[in-house]
Amino acid sequence: MVTIRDVARASGVHVSTVSRTFSAPHLVNEKTRQAVLAVAAQLGYRPNRAARALTTGRTHNLGLIVADIANPFFPPLIKAAQGHARERDYHVFVADTDEDPVLEQELIETLSKQVDGVLLCSPRLSNQTIHRLRAEVPLVIVNRRVKGLTTVLMDVGQGARAAIDHLVGLGHRRIALLTGPPGSWTSGEIRQAATDRAAEAGVPLTVVGPNEPTEQGGLAAADKIAGHSAVLCYNDLVALGLIEGLVERGLSVPGDVSVIGIDDSLPGRLNRPKLTTITMPTAAAGRMAVDLLLAAVGAGEHAPHTTVRLETSLVIRESTQRASEP
């Protein structure tokens, strides 16, 4: 391994000069700098970030913790966050908690020494624990509201209202909502927004749930929404599962039942009929979270916290249509 010392020796300057050429170039004579750079390049020298971190206290690493990497909701967020971080010269550790709060906490703690901050996506931890961890390492939360912490939210309520309006506008009067898991912040938001809007429109809304946030969840719900002409689902996977269940029962979508998903994930776009859904700005959320985290890192311990609420919107595709006359 070629170190700063090798470069110093080979270019006839002191190690500190080499160090400065890389971490404070303006402090070193242009000519010396060029010389050192040349030698470094020739030797294939790369600063050791871990060693640097030891003195500076900045690792230039970020942690990104998600509940389930394989859930199609997350990859676009991970991709965007990682790319954005990279452009800012940050590497990112990605870890999957398997929905296990204990593991989640363990990960944050072991990671904390090695990163400048952690992005927590849809955390399963209690607010109290999150606050405690915040004292050890800067945290930004995505997809859940935690008082007193910097948070990036996707305003799914907005999309949910648009979804209800869309359905009501199409003449639907028997609308069901399939909710998600009990602890889900998103699910609560959707429910709230959808019921409020339905009430405003004077249309009843049947809330059915909780449901597993998977295609199985949707499939299992097919029996529970009998008699409804339109269904808003917790996510695309649930919607897709529901459609499958409906088709199995000889019902057609959108002919007999209109179905709306949430997330705008790849499987939904690929479905036939193409799924009408609420787009979640996952990529933007990932980038925004990185920006906020980096800002918090710079600001130190008691930086002011922010809540950013990103817009969502309804994408009308093929799984919804005008209600058939009763």
Partner DNA sequence: GTGAAAGCGCTAACAG
Partner DNA sequence: CTGTTAGCGCTTTCAC
Chain residues binding a second copy by CB under 8 A are 1, 44, 46-51, 53-54, 59, 61, 68-70, 72, 74-76, 78-79, 82-83, 86, 91-96, 98, 107, 109-114, 136, 215, 237, 240, 243-244, 247, 266-267, 270-272
14 contact choice in DNA, a second copy, none (CB below 5 to 8 Å, kind-dependent): DNA
Alpha carbons 251 and 294: distance in angstroms, whole number = 50
By CB under 7 A, tell whether 42 contacts DNA.
Answer: no
Type of residue at 130? I
Can you tell me whether residue 235 is helix, strand or coil? Answer: coil
By CB under 7 A, tell whether 324 contacts DNA.
Answer: no
By CB under 7 A, tell whether 17 contacts DNA.
Answer: yes
Based on CB atoms, which residue is closest to a second copy, 98 or 256? 98
324 contact choice in a second copy, DNA, none (CB below 5 to 8 Å, kind-dependent): none
Query: Could you tell me if 62 and 270 are in contact, meaning their C-beta atoms sit under 8 angstroms apart?
Result: no
Type of residue at 200? E
As given in the structure block, the two tokens for residue 31 are: 């000519």
Based on CB atoms, which residue is closest to a second copy, 199 or 270? 270
Type of residue at 207? V
188 contact choice in DNA, a second copy, none (CB below 5 to 8 Å, kind-dependent): none
Based on CB atoms, which residue is closest to DNA, 1 or 70? 1
By CB under 7 A, tell whether 48 contacts DNA.
Answer: yes
267 contact choice in DNA, a second copy, none (CB below 5 to 8 Å, kind-dependent): a second copy
Bridge-based pairing of strands 205-208 and 175-178 is parallel
Distance from the Cα of residue 43 to its chain's centroid = 41
114 contact choice in a second copy, DNA, none (CB below 5 to 8 Å, kind-dependent): a second copy
CA distances from 316 to 86, 162, 205 (A): 34, 10, 20
Smallest distance, a second copy to C-beta of residue 171, A = 26
168 contact choice in DNA, a second copy, none (CB below 5 to 8 Å, kind-dependent): none
Question: How would you class 18 by CB atoms within 10 Å of its CB: exposed for 0-12, middle for 13-18, buried for 19 or more?
Answer: buried
Can you tell me whether residue 171 is helix, strand or coil? Answer: coil
Smallest distance, DNA to C-beta of residue 8, A = 8
Residues of this chain, 50-69, that bind DNA according to CB under 7 A: 51-52, 54-56
Alpha carbons 175 and 204: distance in angstroms, whole number = 7
Alpha carbons 164 and 82: distance in angstroms, whole number = 35
Identify the sign of the CA torsion 246, 191, 163, 75. Answer: negative
By CB under 7 A, tell whether 15 contacts DNA.
Answer: yes
Binding test (CB under 7 A) with DNA, winner from 10, 28, 108, 221 = 28
Distance from the Cα of residue 147 to its chain's centroid = 18
As given in the structure block, the two tokens for residue 109 are: 């703690």
Residues in touch with DNA (CB under 7 A): 1, 3-5, 12-17, 19-20, 22-24, 27-29, 31-33, 45-48, 51-52, 54-56
